[in-house]
A and B are shown apart, each in its own frame.
Chain A
Amino acid sequence: MIHKNMVALILAGGQGSRLGAMTKKMAKPAVPFGGKYRIIDFALSNCSNSGIDTVGILTQYKPQQLSTHIGIGTPWDLDRVHGGVTILPPYMSEAGGDWYKGTANAVYQNLGFLDQYDPSYVLVLSGDHIYKMDYRKMLKAHIDAGAEATIAVIDVPPEDASRFGIMNTDDNGRIVSFEEKPSAPKSTLASMGIYIFSYENLKKHLREDSLDPASENDFGKNIIPDMLKAGEKLIAYRFEGYWKDVGTVQSFWEANMDLLKADNEVRLFQSDWKLYTETASIPSQYIGPCARLTDSIISEGCVIMGEVEHSVIFPGVRIGENTRVVDSIIMENCVLEDNVIVNKSILLTGVTVRSNNAVGNGTDIAVIDEGRVLSGSGFID
C-alpha cells in the first residue's frame, strides 16, 4: 500500500433544488458556470493545484452528467497510476444497500476507499462552491496547531451571519462552539464547508456516529459538535478571498456576473491558479463585422453577429444580427436568431430563440429550460 498524506473527498450528491430548472437533469456540482466550466471544476482544480492527487467524488442525485464530465479525471491531471479520481456512488452490500443519509454517513460508507490509501489527513469539500484556495496552507495550519479538525471559515457581514454555520473561536483561533444558522450570531466566521480531519480520529467519530440512531449523520450537526463535546482541538482556518455558495438562481447569476471585470475577485484570468475543465476541440470564436461586445466573456466556437452586453456566453453559441443580449447567461450551443432580445435571463444548454422574440423582463431572472425552442413571436419571461 502506498501511503497518501492527504486524500480529498468532494461531496457532490446534492440536488441544489433552489436552482430550479438548472438541476432538473443534473446534480448542482455539474451545473455549467462561468462561460466554460462546471461548478465542481473549482474544487477539482483547487485539488490539483494544491498537489492533491487522490480524490473521491461522492455522488447521489442524478449523477450521469457529472460522471461523464469527470471521466477518468484527465482535465485535472487526475488520471493517475496510483490514486487519481474515483467516483463513489451509494452501493449494495451483503447487508443490503443504503442511500447516503447525510454528509458524515456518505464518508462513513466509503471508509474502505480511504483505507486503501492509508491517509494521515482527509480533506472534505463541497462540490458546489466558487473559490480558489490552496489547501496546502490549510493543512499546514492544521498540522502546526496539532488539531484533530480544521474548518475553513470566511468573515461574512453581520447581517448575513444567521444564514451560515457560525464558529465561535478564542483568541488563538480554537473553536469553542459551533452554531448552525443562529438567530443571534456571536461571531461572523462562517463555515465554508471545507474540513481537514486527522484520519484516525475521524474514523473513530464516524463509527460512533453510525451507531447512534438519533443522529442525522451530518458533519455540521453531529460530527463537529461531538468532537467539541469530547474536548478535542478544533481550529478555524481563516480564508481571505472570493467564496460563493451558488445555492439560488439569484446567487448563481450574481457569481457569473462577478466574472465580467478584468480584475474580478475570482481571479479567473490569473494563470498562476488555472481552472481546468473538459474542453472540446472547436474553432475560435468568430466576431462578425457589426458585432458589439461590452463587459462580457465569450468562449470558443461562438459566432457573434449581434450585440452582447454584460453577459456570459458559453461555447458554441450563435447570436444573430440585430440581436441584443444584456445581463444574461447563455449556455452551450444556444442559438439566438436575428432580431432577438434577451434581457437578464439564463438560457440553459441548447435553447433556440427564433427571430423576433424577446426573453426576460429585465427585473426578475428568467430561466429557460434545456433544449427549449422559443418560436412564434412574442415575449417570454
Chain B
Amino acid sequence: MKDYMAIFNLAENENDIRSLTTNRPIASVPIGSRYRVIDFMLSNMVNAGIGNVGIFTESNSRSLSDHLGTGKPWDLNRKIDGLFLFNHGLCNLMYTDSKVIKNNMEYIYRSKSSQVVLCSSYMICNMDIGKVCESHEKSGADITVVYKHITTADSGFSNCFTLNIDKSTGDLLGAGKNIGIGREADVCMEIFLMSKEKLTEFIYRSTSLNSLGSFYNLIFDQIGNLRFNTYRFDGYVSCINTVSSYFKANMDMLGRGVSDELFRTPERPIFTKIKDEPPTLYVRGSSVGNSLIADGCQIEGTVRDSLLGRYVDVEEGAVVENSIILQNVRVHKNAKLSHVIIDKNVDIDENTELKGNEYFPLVIEKRNILR
C-alpha cells in the first residue's frame, strides 16, 4: 500500500436533516448511542493505517471540534502528521467546498503522502480501506470511486450520487443523482482515491472555472477524460442525510448482524471520544429490552427497542419505545415516548406523551424543556 492521506469534505447537504443540525454539522450528530457520525469513516481511515487526516468543515463546527479535540481517541494526536481541522468561521456564501480546500493548499503541499482518500463523513459503514487502496493501485486508474449496490433507492440514499457502471466491463459511464425512482441503484459512497497531483489539478481547475458545483461534480465531469476504477462495497452502509435515514440507521444497529459488523469486527474497532461516565444503573422495577444503552444512565422505567446516549435518566413509570434519546436527557415519571428523537439536554416533564412514527419520527431539538 502506498502512502495515503485522508481528506474529509464536510460540505454535506443538510436540507433534510435540519432539526438535528441547527447546532452542528452532520459529522458530529450523535448516533448509535455513544458515537458521532464521523467516528465511522474516521476510524475506517485510521484502521487502514492512515495517520494524516485533514477535515475541511464549512461553518458551525464548534461541536465537531469539541468532539475531535486533538484527535487522541483516534490516535491522531501525533507529532508527525495527525489530525488537521480546517475551520471556516468567515462564512462566504459563495465559498464552495473546493475553495475551502484551495485556501488550505499549503497543508496538501506539505503533506508527505503521495496519495489521497477523499471522503464525506455521513456514510456509516465499517470498511477495509486498505482493500480499496489495493484495488486502486492494481487498476492503475487515475481515480477509484467506491459504490454500493442497493435495492432500496426509493426509500434511502436520497439525493446521493448514483453511478452508471457498464455491467460487463465495470467501466464508469456516467453519474447522476438518486431521485427515488426505482429500487436498484449503484450509489456512490463518496470515497475517492487519487494521487495528490490529481487532487491539486482538480482544485485549480475548479477555482479557474469559478465553479459553484460541488467538488464531486468536478470529478464526475472528467468521466471519459480520466481513467476511473470502480470498487464495489458489499457491507452495511447507510447515508445520514435525512431524519428518517438517521432514525433507520440507529434502529439498524439494534440488529445483531449490523451491530456485529459495525462494532465487533476485531481488527477494525470504531473509536470515539471518551467521557468518563460511571456504569449504567438499573434499578428494581426497570424493564429494558432490545436496546443499546450508553454508560452513565439511570433506568427505573421501561425502555424497549431504543437507543440511549450517555447520562440519560428514565424515571419510574416512564416508557421509552422505538426512540433515540441523546446525551443528558431526563425522562420524568410516567412520560411516554414512542418514535421520537430527543436531542441533547432536554427535560421531558412528568406525564408528557410524545409520539411520531417510523417514517416521520418526532424530533425534539436541543435544550427544550417540555411541560
| Residues of A that sit less than 8 Å from B by CB | 34-36, 74-75, 260, 262, 268-269, 271, 274-277, 279, 281-300, 308, 312-313
Asked if residues B279 and A35 are in contact (CB atoms below 8 Å), the reply is yes
What would 9 A/B residue contacts be, using CB atoms closer than 8 Å? Answer: A36-B295, A275-B276, A281-B73, A283-B264, A284-B32, A287-B290, A295-B283, A298-B282, A299-B295
Asked if residues B289 and A262 are in contact (CB atoms below 8 Å), the reply is no
| Residues of B that sit less than 8 Å from A by CB | 32-34, 72-73, 254, 259, 262-264, 269-272, 274, 276, 278-296, 298-299, 303, 307-308, 311
**How distant is the Cα of A275 from the Cα of B32 in the complex, in angstroms?**
24
In order of increasing CB-CB distance, the 5 nearest A-B pairs are A35-B279, A293-B282, A284-B33, A283-B263, A297-B279
**How distant is the Cα of A110 from the Cα of B299 in the complex, in angstroms?**
47
Asked if residues B278 and A35 are in contact (CB atoms below 8 Å), the reply is yes
Given A35-B279, A294-B284, A295-B282, A300-B34 contact (CB < 8 Å): yes
Asked if residues B295 and A288 are in contact (CB atoms below 8 Å), the reply is no
Residue of B32, B264, B280 near A285 (CB, 8 A) is B280
**How distant is the Cα of A202 from the Cα of B294 in the complex, in angstroms?**
47
Residue of A277, A290, A296 near B282 (CB, 8 A) is A296
A300 contact set on B, CB distance < 8 A:
34, 294-295
Asked if residues A281 and B274 are in contact (CB atoms below 8 Å), the reply is yes
- A295's nearest neighbour on chain B, judged by CB, is B284
Kindly provide the distance from the CB of A325 to the nearest chain B CB, expressed in whole angstroms: 12
Kindly provide the distance from the CB of A367 to the nearest chain B CB, expressed in whole angstroms: 21
Residue of B274, B278, B293, B311 near A287 (CB, 8 A) is B293
Kindly provide the distance from the CB of B317 to the nearest chain A CB, expressed in whole angstroms: 15
**How distant is the Cα of A287 from the Cα of B287 in the complex, in angstroms?**
10
Asked if residues A290 and B279 are in contact (CB atoms below 8 Å), the reply is no
Given A36-B278, A279-B274, A289-B290 contact (CB < 8 Å): yes
Asked if residues B281 and A297 are in contact (CB atoms below 8 Å), the reply is yes
Asked if residues B283 and A262 are in contact (CB atoms below 8 Å), the reply is yes
Asked if residues B259 and A283 are in contact (CB atoms below 8 Å), the reply is yes
Residue of A35, A268, A284 near B34 (CB, 8 A) is A284
Asked if residues B293 and A285 are in contact (CB atoms below 8 Å), the reply is yes
4 additional A-B residue pairs with CB within 8 Å, beyond A284-B34, A285-B294:
A268-B278, A279-B274, A284-B294, A298-B293
Kindly provide the distance from the CB of B60 to the nearest chain A CB, expressed in whole angstroms: 26
Asked if residues A291 and B289 are in contact (CB atoms below 8 Å), the reply is yes
Asked if residues B283 and A269 are in contact (CB atoms below 8 Å), the reply is no
A275 contact set on B, CB distance < 8 A:
276, 278
Residue of A34, A271, A283, A293 near B32 (CB, 8 A) is A283
**How distant is the Cα of A230 from the Cα of B119 in the complex, in angstroms?**
72
**How distant is the Cα of A161 from the Cα of B264 in the complex, in angstroms?**
51
Kindly provide the distance from the CB of B145 to the nearest chain A CB, expressed in whole angstroms: 29
Kindly provide the distance from the CB of A270 to the nearest chain B CB, expressed in whole angstroms: 9
A284 contact set on B, CB distance < 8 A:
32-34, 292-295, 307-308
Asked if residues A286 and B280 are in contact (CB atoms below 8 Å), the reply is no
Kindly provide the distance from the CB of B256 to the nearest chain A CB, expressed in whole angstroms: 8
Kindly provide the distance from the CB of A222 to the nearest chain B CB, expressed in whole angstroms: 39
**How distant is the Cα of A291 from the Cα of B262 in the complex, in angstroms?**
23
A75 contact set on B, CB distance < 8 A:
274, 276
Kindly provide the distance from the CB of B124 to the nearest chain A CB, expressed in whole angstroms: 13
Residue of A279, A283, A294, A299 near B270 (CB, 8 A) is A283
Q: Which of B32, B72, B280, B307 has the most chain A CB atoms inside 10 A of its CB?
A: B280
- A296's nearest neighbour on chain B, judged by CB, is B282
B73 contact set on A, CB distance < 8 A:
281
Residue of A277, A293, A313 near B286 (CB, 8 A) is A293
Asked if residues A289 and B289 are in contact (CB atoms below 8 Å), the reply is yes
B307 contact set on A, CB distance < 8 A:
284
Asked if residues A281 and B271 are in contact (CB atoms below 8 Å), the reply is yes
Asked if residues B290 and A288 are in contact (CB atoms below 8 Å), the reply is yes
**How distant is the Cα of A271 from the Cα of B328 in the complex, in angstroms?**
12
Asked if residues B259 and A286 are in contact (CB atoms below 8 Å), the reply is yes
Kindly provide the distance from the CB of A277 to the nearest chain B CB, expressed in whole angstroms: 7
Residue of A274, A286, A290, A308 near B276 (CB, 8 A) is A274
Residue of B262, B269, B286, B293 near A294 (CB, 8 A) is B286
B72 contact set on A, CB distance < 8 A:
74
**How distant is the Cα of A276 from the Cα of B276 in the complex, in angstroms?**
6
Kindly provide the distance from the CB of B260 to the nearest chain A CB, expressed in whole angstroms: 10
Kindly provide the distance from the CB of A46 to the nearest chain B CB, expressed in whole angstroms: 14
A268 contact set on B, CB distance < 8 A:
278
Asked if residues B279 and A281 are in contact (CB atoms below 8 Å), the reply is no
B281 contact set on A, CB distance < 8 A:
260, 262, 269, 296-297
B285 contact set on A, CB distance < 8 A:
294
**How distant is the Cα of A300 from the Cα of B279 in the complex, in angstroms?**
7
Kindly provide the distance from the CB of A381 to the nearest chain B CB, expressed in whole angstroms: 27
Q: Which of A75, A260, A283, A308 has the most chain B CB atoms inside 10 A of its CB?
A: A283
Asked if residues A279 and B276 are in contact (CB atoms below 8 Å), the reply is yes
- B74's nearest neighbour on chain A, judged by CB, is A281
**How distant is the Cα of A291 from the Cα of B294 in the complex, in angstroms?**
16
Asked if residues B270 and A293 are in contact (CB atoms below 8 Å), the reply is no
Given A283-B259, A300-B34, A291-B288 contact (CB < 8 Å): yes
Asked if residues B289 and A287 are in contact (CB atoms below 8 Å), the reply is yes
Q: Which of A275, A282, A286, A290 has the most chain B CB atoms inside 10 A of its CB?
A: A286
**How distant is the Cα of A268 from the Cα of B295 in the complex, in angstroms?**
12
A312 contact set on B, CB distance < 8 A:
279
Kindly provide the distance from the CB of B104 to the nearest chain A CB, expressed in whole angstroms: 29
**How distant is the Cα of A282 from the Cα of B271 in the complex, in angstroms?**
7
**How distant is the Cα of A297 from the Cα of B276 in the complex, in angstroms?**
15
Q: Which of A36, A269, A287, A294 has the most chain B CB atoms inside 10 A of its CB?
A: A287
